[in-house]
Structure 1
Amino acid sequence: MSYHHQFTGETQGIRATAPVKWRQLDGVLGAFWEAEGDVGGQGYYVSANPRISIFFNDVSSIRMANADRVAARKGRPLARAIYVPAGTPMWTRFTDRLQFSHLDVHLQNERLVKFLSPAIGRAAACAVAQRPTEITQTEDLQILAGLLVRELERPSRHSHYAESLVGSLVAGVLDMDDLRPNRSDGRLTDAQMRKLVHYVQANADHRLSVAEMADTVKLSESWFHHAFKCTTGTTPMQWQTRQRVALAQRLLTETEMSLADVANRLGFADQAHLSKVFRRVVGQTPAQWRRTPVLR
């Protein structure tokens, strides 16, 4: 899995004091920086990918903020280890002259989620990937970071060794304390399925999008689609079609509504559209089904 670097960094009064040491791994780019900043030095950073930064010096004299450049003037002290989710901007401002070094680990988002998923489930992994983290006690993390920096400067082992170090840093930095593993089979829970059924029935006058269904159970659209198919053996849209046909069957059984009225009530384009979908699912047209004396 290749990594595509999509990072914007704008600095003033901050400069590198040595060439950057970097190495590309599987879905990861590691970079070791040595730099210095002047009093009043400023930086702006944003990336399309999540990243971890481990600082090897006390950088509390650097103020940081995620709101805007003005907020950085009175912002919070920069922590020794930070995790910045994809798309999260960061502004920094130096209150003292400082020489420092740090390791940046840029991660392809899907690589990060795949790493976390076996331990906590994909839905939780997606949630964790969106949580910023700041850590002040970093002794153990600095040991791992130092080993990774050594592999960036002078690779001596198979790339899997460096990638394993990255994995350990991810596990050590990201905020997973309040999570427990999700269902190991990747399925939706019974409660989530009940909530979906209720939502479809409550919104039976139109066809829901996958995004709307995913939002109902608080999952990303891609993970919802995967988990839904694991649970039901069908896609969300196929399932929704069957739910709407089941509602049509109920109306045809319990009311004297015309086929046109049923089609209109359930958000089908017209009676012909209802008949086409109904026949595909049930094997009969609505009129045939209504006339058939079967136990229901």
Structure 2
Amino acid sequence: MSADDATALHENVVRIERRVHSWNGVTVVDVHEHTRGEVLHSLVNDEDTGVALALNEVGGVTEPRLKPDQACTLNHRPNHMTLVPKGMPLWGYATRDLHYSRYALLLFDLHALEMRFEEDFDAGMFARPRLRFTDDRLHALIRMLVDIPEEDASMPLLGDSLTSAVFALLSNENEQLTASPKLSCHALCLVESYIQDQLPRRIELRELAELAQMSQWHFSKGFKESTGLSPYQWQLTKRLEMVKESLLQSDAPLNAIATATGFRDTTHLVRTFKRRIGEAPAVWRRDRR
């Protein structure tokens, strides 16, 4: 099923669940498909440049096809990926014994990516199909993308950083990516001050990379080399410091603190605080007051 067609189900698809998010010119679709019998349907239409990654196959296997009536001649491999350029649709085939599959679809806005990545953009890497290839680095990054909790999906820095890394790896195929140096003291100070001053606004990776006069990929790597944290983690740490300050210095309810510090709601704040600090905000406040 293509990302923009959620209506017409194949007769052997019992149920399909989809979650869609967009970051950085990349639309990420997480699909859970429950089937009964052979299935053949469109995955990516010919208007999109896309990647399909098999995340889980239970009972049988899935197969990418460039034409619906032509089986793929490459051997099946777990977590296989297929890249198709614009103008070439992709079909997904599921064997009769498959009853559940989870797969990710990444649809690329190449014009937007070219504008953002400039010299790091190589359109030629997206001009030919690549079927049933595997890459452990890409698999790990895409799984992190689809597993981003719903409450964190609205924070651009996390999705931007992961999609930037995915795009960089796809653009380089099997070549080794060059190591990124640490940010200069001036650039690091400029970026950290900007993040701090903009709190709790949701900042895009593009803004920070432009400040440092680097591509998004090299900025992300350089920032982590310099600080030990990704830009998202660094920003989240500062937001949690704001939360702690509000908890200690005011009697504001958690919903007000969540709004003031950029969390989606109280539940988002509590979950994030417990995950990073180790206890609930109310407990943390009580024990320190």
Question: TM-score scaled by structure 1?
Answer: 0.48
Larger C-alpha radius of gyration, 1 or 2?
A: 1
| TM-score normalised according to structure 2 size | 0.49
